Amino acid sequence: MRSWASVAMRDAPGAPAPASGADQLKALRSLGPHLWPKGEPLLKARVVAALCLVFLAKLFNVAIPLLLKRAVDALAPHGHMALIAAPLGLVAAYGAARIGSQGSGEIRDMVFAPVVQRAVRRTAIETLDRLHGLSLRFHLERYTGGVSRIMDRGLSAVEVLLGLTLFNVAPILLEVTLVSAILWRLFNPAFAAATIAVIVGYAAFTFAVTQRRVSMRREMNRQDNLAGAVATDSLINYETVKYFGAEHHEVARYDAAKRDYERSAVKNQATLSGLNIGQGLIMTAGLVAVMMMAAVGVAHGRMTVGDFVLVNAYMLQLYQPLNVLGVVYRSLKQSLVDYEQMHRLLRTEAEVQDRPGAGPLVDPGGEIVFEDVGFSYEPRRSILSGVSFRVPPGRKVALVGTSGAGKSTIARLLFRFYDATSGKVTIGGEDLRDVTQASLRAAIGVVPQDTVLFNDTLYYNIAYGRPDATREEVVEAARLAHLHDFVAALPDGYETMVGERGLKLSGGEKQRVAIARVILKRPRILIFDEATSALDTKTEQGIQESLRELAIGHTSLVIAHRLSTVTDADEILVLEQGRIIERGTHAGLLRKDGVYAGMWARQHRGTEEPVEA
Ligand SMILES: Nc1ncnc2c1ncn2[C@@H]1O[C@H](COP(=O)(O)OP(=O)(O)OP(=O)(O)O)[C@@H](O)[C@H]1O
Ligand SMILES: [Mg+2]
């Protein structure tokens, strides 16, 4: 399945070069504007509200152990137990503070969700737009499955990065500071110092181990991309796999990719467990040390039982976000890796670009000129050389020649999927490189060699040629393309689903959909790349008639293997190995008795059709 326009997938998905810290920072910075969305005062208000709620939640958090301590101290036996109201009130306040803390956290997430989701949507749109903006070469060199996985992971990363940085990292620092200050004021600096030491030790350990795990994660991602790409590619080629009974081969290929992933994932889990154990040890050691200090204080009468409870409660409470901090840091790092990969796609320069200040194509109906055009897909192999020809306005030029001669390549150059390596292509005197791609492509209608359809209805696929067309226009186009009778006879008519890539249609039906689309598009220039090759002779003759009518007043470039379809061309170019070896009208070329005459004779051997048309 190689269409000259289809986005196919080949070649190994190149391992992305590891990103530098600077790249990641640049990627992260690009998220900034999403936190303060331009022209969205409501979203901005939500950001502010969410920040206030973060602060509120932390205040509640700090109050909880203090209330607990007061309750414990109030319950301690000191004679007048009649005042039961005091401890009860404190316990109630304690409960209220807990609810306040949890509630503000949840409300914060709720308030902030629209900001995050808007950012995800914007980034998704930008990425898809960018991917469509990239050149055909980029897409031919990538596995589509790999690209869409990078996109998926990148988008979840946006969610993580926006939510986590704002609501976890910064607030944890705030909480640690508050708690240390309180411990310092209530007891002595030793408590604050011990608390800070535990936290610094914990953070340092976490960061060090996580740092090492990042490269592992990147490797896992690469293997994940590869496995995804292999699976997608094998499913896309479902039929080919069956033709060659290659199911085992495909599964084995997938297994190889998955095996590597399995190994990495196991290693990843092992280091994760190690990390968790280390974190637990550090935290518990800190907790025990601080509680021992408090126990000594209570024994010496310097501290109350309430203080002992307070210290324990604060430590446990810090433990929670710290535990989260580990997870947060890990997912931050991972998300940075994922996001950076997607960001790199966003930064990829398109090979074919509009020149700054490029204007629209002024005269789409003008003469098409190929001037000494040379082209190669890759430097080592020349595909076209010294190709020169003209298609005067409203005329029809045909390209014929052996397979692989470069016929479709000439069409791709005219459509500017690629730029000529040497020489130039002009329309109405304007170099294609000087006009906008959009205006150029709007002027050209293409019926490609292999038509790939969207997995939608027939109607959708035909109307794709001009989405604002009325139903009558769509039906009329189908009629002209000799498709209407077939569609009308279908149980679901125009609402029939065509299947993935249009595989539920026959080759000829797909070709006719492609023709109908182009009829609907009404371009000034037409390119038919073996537009009727999949049709039987009778249908072909009918369509040729329509195409001929369609071509009246249009400048057209027709590629054909079946020479009988191009006998009426104003000029026929015979291409061989990227060079024009013969040119002239049908009659002229036959008189010349060269390559073309030979091809004609071979195609009509055994038919009673006269050699001279
Ligand atoms: N994206 C690509 N990268 C590298 N080489 C390519 C690429 N596309 C096509 N080619 C090569 O360029 C040559 C010309 O291809 P092209 O599709 O123009 O042939 P064609 O004349 O249309 O053949 P056919 O009649 O079989 O459709 C072929 O040898 C092909 O292998
Ligand atoms: Mg071709």
Beta strands in 95-222 (DSSP E): none
Q: SS3 of 244, please?
A: coil
Q: Which ligand is nearest to the CA of 383?
A: 1
Report the nearest atom of ligand 1 relative to the CA of 4: 17
Confidence check: pLDDT of 8 > 80:
no
Task: Determine the pLDDT at residue 320.
Answer: 76
Q: SS3 of 370, please?
A: strand
463-496 tens-digit pLDDT: 998 889 999 999 999 998 888 998 999 999 999 9
103-151 tens-digit pLDDT: 998 899 899 989 889 999 998 998 889 888 888 888 877 766 678 888 8
Q: What domains can be seen in the chain, in order of their start residue? A: 21-347 (1.20.1560.10), 372-604 (3.40.50.300)
Least trusted range by pLDDT, from 134-138, 540-544, 584-588: 540-544
- Phi, psi for residue 161 in degrees, rounded to 5: -60, -45
Ligand 1 pocket test: pick from 140, 383, 403, 576 the residue with the most ligand atoms within 8 Å of its Cβ: 383
Q: Which residue has the higher pLDDT, 281 or 344?
A: 281
Contacts of 506 (CB under 8 A, 6+ apart): 534
**435 - beta bridge partners?**
359
426-459 tens-digit pLDDT: 999 999 999 999 999 999 999 887 888 888 899 9
Q: Which ligand is nearest to the CA of 413?
A: 1
User: Tokens at residue 601, please?
Assistant: 């004779």
Cα 222 to middle of ligand 2, angstroms: 34
Pick from 207-216, 256-265, 499-508 the range whose average pLDDT is largest: 256-265
What CA–CA distance (Å, rounded) separates 366 from 571?
A: 17
What CA–CA distance (Å, rounded) separates 612 from 599?
A: 13
Contacts of 268 (CB under 8 A, 6+ apart): 213, 216, 217, 220
Q: Which residue has the higher pLDDT, 384 or 318?
A: 384
Q: H helices of 379-506, where?
A: 407-414, 437-443, 458-463, 471-480, 484-488
Confidence check: pLDDT of 1 > 50:
no
Task: Determine the pLDDT at residue 339.
Answer: 86
Q: Is 383 in the pocket of ligand 1 (CB under 6 A)?
A: yes
Q: Which ligand is nearest to the CA of 406?
A: 1
Residue nearest to atom 18 of ligand 1 (CA): 406
Q: Is 404 in the pocket of ligand 1 (CB under 6 A)?
A: yes
Pick from 57-61, 243-247, 433-437 the range whose average pLDDT is largest: 433-437
Ligand 1 pocket test: pick from 10, 399, 409 the residue with the most ligand atoms within 8 Å of its Cβ: 409
Residue nearest to atom 19 of ligand 1 (CA): 404
Q: pTM for this one? A: 0.73
Ligand 1 pocket test: pick from 135, 387, 400, 407 the residue with the most ligand atoms within 8 Å of its Cβ: 407
Task: Determine the pLDDT at residue 270.
Answer: 92
Confidence check: pLDDT of 14 > 50:
no
User: Tokens at residue 323, please?
Assistant: 């535990």
User: Tokens at residue 129, please?
Assistant: 């737009």
Confidence check: pLDDT of 10 > 50:
no
Query: In the chain, what percentage of residues exceed pLDDT 90?
Result: 31
Report residues near ion ligand 2: CB below 5 Å. 408, 449
Q: What is the dihedral of CA 185, 187, 192, 194, to 10 degrees?
A: 180
Query: If you average pLDDT over residues 314-342, what whole number do you get?
Result: 79
Task: Determine the pLDDT at residue 536.
Answer: 75
Task: Determine the pLDDT at residue 15.
Answer: 41
| Pairing mode of beta strands 368-375, 384-391 | antiparallel
Give the residue from 569, 605, 603 showing the smallest Cα distance to 587: 569
Residue 217 to residues 269, 333, 370, Cα–Cα distance (Å)? 11, 9, 50
How many CA within 13 A on the CB side of residue 293?
19
| Pairing mode of beta strands 430-431, 422-427 | antiparallel
Task: Determine the pLDDT at residue 578.
Answer: 92
Give the residue from 527, 526, 492, 496 showing the smallest Cα distance to 510: 496
User: Tokens at residue 160, please?
Assistant: 């993580």
Q: Is 180 in the pocket of ligand 1 (CB under 6 A)?
A: no
Report the nearest atom of ligand 1 relative to the CA of 449: 27
